[in-house]
Amino acid sequence: MNIEQLREFALSLPQATEDVKWGNDLCFCIYEKMFCVTGLSGNFGASLKVKPDEFDELVAKEGIVPAPYMARNKWIYVKEAGALSDEEWEHYVRQSYELVASKLTKKVQRELGLI
């Protein structure tokens, strides 16, 4: 996975948007709530929300650490792109999207086809 592939996949999700925040972070959002964050410069890596029961297992893998400032909310930072296969990247980006979307109103969730 690289930043172009991540961008293409993240923006393929319903109602996903992108925004640059803090001057150098590309954020993918659903109704203005972030579900994936990556840097625009430096080595490719990304932060994602994961299920609480997966958090410890994922951060035990080489190349994945608790996301700075967001670990308490069960976000990971994949600092080495090769720590996940392309299929795993898609799974965890989609899952992060769904976890964040699940906190939206029921009306919005219905519009997105999540319920």
Closest CA to 76 of 65, 87, 89: 65
Q: Is 56 exposed, middle or buried (0-12, 13-18, 19+ CB in 10 A)?
A: exposed
How many beta carbons lie within 10 A of that of residue 64, not counting itself? 22
Please tell me the pTM assigned to this model. 0.92
Domains by residue range for the chain, with CATH = 3-109 (3.90.1150.30)
**CA torsion angle for 56, 60, 61, 65 (degrees, to 10)?**
80
Q: Per-residue pLDDT for the chain (115 aa), expressed as one digit of tens each? A: 899 999 999 999 999 999 999 888 999 999 999 999 999 888 899 999 999 999 999 999 999 999 998 999 999 999 999 999 999 999 999 999 999 999 999 998 888 777 7
Name 82's Cβ contacts closer than 8 Å, sequence gap at least 6: 63
